[in-house]
Structure 1
């Protein structure tokens, strides 16, 4: 019984800390607490549950705000005000749709799209506010309505941002956990700002871009070795490496096309061929004369980066 109570208390504290975390990052912590605690289970909710709560509150408010500003547009006789109210109505209508879509993508665990639509929803009231620059001014009540919707949508956006970071971190760990060099993988993906909001397909594009850029530089380096060596055996081996790196550049470029088309089987085939090309370069140096130390480092780095592409391919294939 003691163990059960301790476990429950620990879980509650962890979940409750999400409310503290989100509201600490919100524009109005007091309102944020009120919104999230509209769900009596908020203190034991995870981030996803809090997202549903915040979307529900923001969506209800957005619909009420749309009704109010539509009423203003019909009531006013001032043509300039009417245009401005219509602008707000259009943007509030979009906000309603964006929040509805956010909820749909959250249900599908598509955190990247959830964040995109949450961000768009947040932009609705901002555009309404901007439409009232100069005279005639918005009514005091519309200013309050707009301010409240801004705060509500910001809570949704804050949760979306935190879910994106959690999702990305989990995905990076999953990808790097099946590579030959997890440390290199975590460093490469963890230091890339695009990875923070990427889904598994996004990590595919990121890993290809990094491996492709490296392959191009490596091709340039090996080509320079071909031109500078006077040893015919080394020249032949450098030629082999240059040909393989050139093919690797082509293979990785094709991987991006296959990813665009959702052809994961071809994506994996070409990534595997790119990886094999580096092995071929390494194998060409069996026996003396040996490869220079820098070429060994170049080959090792290239293999590691292409290995990340392969790891992403394996996870994409498992979806």
Structure 2
């Protein structure tokens, strides 16, 4: 497990490989990682550390990644030999095929890294994430089966998520709200294997989820409301959020189809729900019971729109 977690530090070093220090090289390398102790333990456990430079230390971690992928593949193969139940066999077969690909991706990552093609190395490492991700999805689909390698898949996905930490930060630095963006993306496990477009897709999915959540809250408030003006205001909010759900779905569809102007237009329509809702309460001089959620939603939509706009330029 330590060797896999240690790989979380790999790509944090890519831009600093030409920098050297007169101090302990391993501590220099691990000092820039996201998990100092795991990094230190992993590198000091490898005898090759004594005769290598900074790039060599990162390569050691990549080798450990390849070893871990092979280990999980072999465990899946062993489980397949023992399995009797048809659905379990199908699930394990899918896992085996995906981990077979993951081994190839790990090999490619090392090859690209050795050639100083760090972007391609990171792309290959991201591709590895499809193995644990697809494996666990297979077990979770009906008929549901308990995954016998869930803890190892989760560790592997966690590693990929940490390796992609820099990409998430890069994306969120260009948004209109860095902290909200970071928190939203890191809360979604799929961000671990997503490229930039995939990260924005995740934000759009969260826009849709938020719109549905606020709509349901408005419906609940309407059922409890007694005062005539409050009912009118909530009814306007309900109608607008109903439309915003359709707009959010359209935005996702257009964005996935690379129709970025269409996605921007649909996202702009989504924001009319919280905007119109709050205007209605202000005109009626009523305190909005969902003001904080409307405000948060508008901010979230705006940060998502700021990222979509980059694809159209």
The answer to whether the 8 A contact 2:236-2:277 is kept is yes
Report if the CA contact (8 A) 1:237-1:284 is conserved. yes
Q: Are residue 171 (structure 1) and residue 182 (structure 2) matched? A: no
User: Which residue number corresponds to residue 257 of structure 2?
Assistant: 261
Query: Alpha carbons of 1:46 and 1:234: their partners in 2 closer, same or farther (altered >3 Å)?
Result: farther
Check conservation: 2:160, 2:193, Cα contact below 8 A: no
- Cα distance change of structure 1 residues 312 and 11 upon mapping to structure 2, 3 Å threshold: farther
Secondary structure in 1 matching 2:281: coil
1:9 is matched with 22
- The whole-number CA distance in structure 1 between the counterparts of 2:308 and 2:182 is 17
CA 10–228 in structure 1, closer or farther in 2 if over 3 Å, else same? same
Residue 216 of structure 1, CA deviation: 0.9
Q: Is contact 2:168–2:182 with CA below 8 Å preserved after alignment?
A: no
> 2:212 aligned with 1:216, yes or no?
yes
Q: Which of 228, 240, 243 is 2:239 aligned to? A: 243
Q: Is contact 1:168–1:195 with CA below 8 Å preserved after alignment?
A: no
In structure 1, stretches of 5+ residues that fail to align are 1-5, 63-89, 121-156
Structure 1 window deviating more from structure 2 (210-219 vs 108-117): it is 108-117
1:250 offset after TM fit, Å? 1.0
Matches of 2:126 and 2:105 in 1, distance apart? Answer: 10
Pairwise CA RMSD: 4.6
Match of 1:114 in 2: 125
1:167 Cα deviation after fit: 2.8
Does the Cα contact within 8 Å between 1:115 and 1:161 map onto a contact in 2? no
Residue 294 of structure 2 is aligned with which of 291, 299, 319?
299
Change (3 A) 1:170 1:97: closer
Structure 2 contact 21–28 (Cα < 8 Å) conserved: no
CA deviations 1:69-110 (Å, max 9, x no partner) are: xxxxxxxxxxxxxxxxxxxxx999968754454446965457
Instruction: List gaps (5 residues or longer) in structure 2.
Output: 1-18, 71-96, 132-154
After the TM superposition, which of the residue ranges 259-268 and 189-198 deviates more from structure 2?
Answer: 189-198
Which residue in 1 is equivalent to 2:195?
Answer: 199
1:231–1:314: structure 2 CA closer, same or farther, 3 Å change rule? same
Structure 1 residue 252: Cα displacement: 1.3
- More deviation, 163-172/6-15: 6-15
Q: Which has the larger radius of gyration?
A: 1
Q: Relative to structure 1, is the Cα distance of residues 161 and 243 closer, same or farther in structure 2, using a 3 angstrom cutoff?
A: closer
Cα deviation for residue 10 of structure 1 reads 6.5
Shift of 1:280: 1.8
Match of 2:182 in 1: 186
For 1:221 and 1:279, how far apart are their aligned partners in 2?
17
From 35, 38, 41, the equivalent of 1:24 is: 41
Report the 3-state secondary structure (helix = DSSP H, G, I; strand = E; otherwise coil) of the residue aligned with 1:284: helix
Report the Cα distance in structure 1 between the residues aligned to 2:233 and 2:99, rounded to whole angstroms: 65
Is the contact between residue 234 and residue 289 of structure 1 (CA under 8 Å) also seen in structure 2?
no
Q: Distance in 2 between matches of 1:299 and 1:246?
A: 14
Cα distance in structure 1, aligned partners of 2:118 and 2:168: 18
Equivalent pairs counted in the alignment come to 238
CA distance in 2, matches of 1:91, 1:188: 28
3-state SS of 1:277 partner? helix
- Kindly indicate whether the alpha-carbon contact (under 8 Å) linking 1:98 and 1:117 is maintained by their aligned counterparts in 2: yes
| Partners of 1:15 and 1:44 within 8 A in 2 | no
After TM superposition, the score normalised by the length of structure 2 is 0.57
1:123 corresponds in structure 2 to: none
